[in-house]
Structure 1
Amino acid sequence: MLRIVDELAGPGPLRVCAHAPADGDAGTGLRVLLIADVLARVVELRGRAVLLGWTGPAYSAATTGLRPADAEGDPESIAESLGGPPGVHLTSGTYERATTACLRVGEAELPPLDGLDPLAVRMLLLGHPYEEPVVATADGIDEAAGTLSRWRRAVAHGAAHPSKPIPADLKATARTALESRLDTAAVLRLLGDLETAPEVPEGAKFETFSYLDRVLGLELVREVGTV
């Protein structure tokens, strides 16, 4: 089976275009942009630059951990701004104009987000395979927020210990999951198991959480130096 990042390998920057639905489906639109953000992070972890374009409604990048778009507008203006046509499109439906790779992202139904932690929303969405639909609840988002808080305290605790290398098997497992199918849900499960693994030194836990957060974008190192 050809892995996602292998299919997108090539010279120069990878141009990505995320098509948020224009019908007011804010949850699905946010999820499309989130998966584009994750794809960009995984490709950049492999050493290739990424240029990102968005079509459809704009979303707040700052509050949800999304990287800002390099270009916004219609596909033609995005291709002109990015210096060439996108090498991959992300959409919640069928994008008939795609002549290159296209990832279809499942719909996401979100509750009203007022008063909820946007990075907990990000974590909840990342806990599901990107192609499957998600129905999120306020209770589920609150539970994700609790996990985030606990992990940040654990990372801050680990930062106070001598640094140790990331266990090779954990790194290989996480990279395979991400590079094969953007399986952030598997990475989150790996971190959940790692949190309580007595055989892994605290310094290695810190390095693993920090490294994988480069893709997850959950600000897991936020509390380092505060405990």
Structure 2
Amino acid sequence: MLRIVDELAGPGPLRVHAHAPADNDPGTALRVLLTADVLARVVEMRGRAVLIGWTGPKTEAAAAIRPPDAEGEPARIAQELGGPPGVQLTSGMYEGAGVACLQIGRAALPPLQGLDPLAVRLVLLSHPYEEPVSITAEEIAEAGHALARWRRAVAAWAEHPSKPIPADLKSTARTALDHRLDTSAVLRLLHALATADDVPEGAKFETVAHLDRVLGLELVREVGLV
């Protein structure tokens, strides 16, 4: 997918327009914005700048998502970002300008008030972005507990001497992200890594720190606090 984006979107910054639905569907709106955030992170890790524009309503849990560079109607966004989009993200059919379009599956979420935005982010990233999902408050609460466990483990691994990221893990993660923006595959890789006896703790830390640049879950937040 990213190869196609690079070939078709032209030189310079990649301009991304995320079209959050305005039909009282905050879960899907959040998922559209989150996918734009992840796409930007992956492209920037490859060394290319990204500019993001949002259309549609803001959503409460967007606190865990990279803020846009422009907001409003598509024409205004294109003007503020210096040109038309290279990629469109939408939960429905969109026939505006743009060389690539990602169709984002709908997401049914419980009321988000009082919930951890990063736990919501983790649950959504656990599913391929194109598949519809229905998520409960209990799943989000469990995701919050999982984040706490991850952060404790990462803080412990950080106490060990640094080791290189295993080449096969780095290649597998890059392939998953480049081909399908598959954060669910990256999360499965990290779960397997946690219990891998043949990977040094220092390499586990470096792997998680590297991949969290895409996941954006603040998994290294507790390093140095214990």
Normalising by structure 2, we get a TM-score of 0.96
Separation in 2, partners of 1:115, 1:57: 19
* Contact 2:162/2:202 (8 A) holds in 1: yes
Q: How does 1:1-227 map to 2 (within 5 A)?
A: 4-9=1-6, 10-59=10-59, 63-64=63-64, 66-227=65-226
Separation in 2, partners of 1:60, 1:83: 28
SS state at 1:63 partner: helix
1:80-135 superposed Cα distances (whole Å, 9 cap, x missing partner): 00000000000000002244200000000001123321101000000001000010
Separation in 1, partners of 2:14, 2:83: 10
Write the letter of the residue equivalent to 2:173: A
* Contact 2:62/2:117 (8 A) holds in 1: no
Displacement of 1:59 in angstroms is 3.2
1:195-217 superposed Cα distances (whole Å, 9 cap, x missing partner): 11111100000000000000000
Displacement of 1:147 in angstroms is 1.2
Write the letter of the residue equivalent to 1:6: R
Displacement of 1:189 in angstroms is 0.3
Separation in 1, partners of 2:157, 2:62: 27
SS state at 1:18 partner: strand
Write the letter of the residue equivalent to 1:109: A
Moved more, 106-115 or 36-45: 106-115
Show structure 1 runs of 4+ deviating over 6 A. none
1:139-176 superposed Cα distances (whole Å, 9 cap, x missing partner): 11111111111110111001111000000000000000
Separation in 2, partners of 1:157, 1:105: 36
Separation in 2, partners of 1:61, 1:78: 22
Structure 2 unaligned blocks of 5 or more? none
Separation in 2, partners of 1:75, 1:36: 15
* Contact 1:184/1:216 (8 A) holds in 2: yes
Structure 1 unaligned blocks of 5 or more? none
SS state at 1:8 partner: helix
Write the letter of the residue equivalent to 2:40: A
Moved more, 52-61 or 158-167: 52-61
Moved more, 127-136 or 91-100: 91-100
| Alpha-carbon RMSD | 1.1
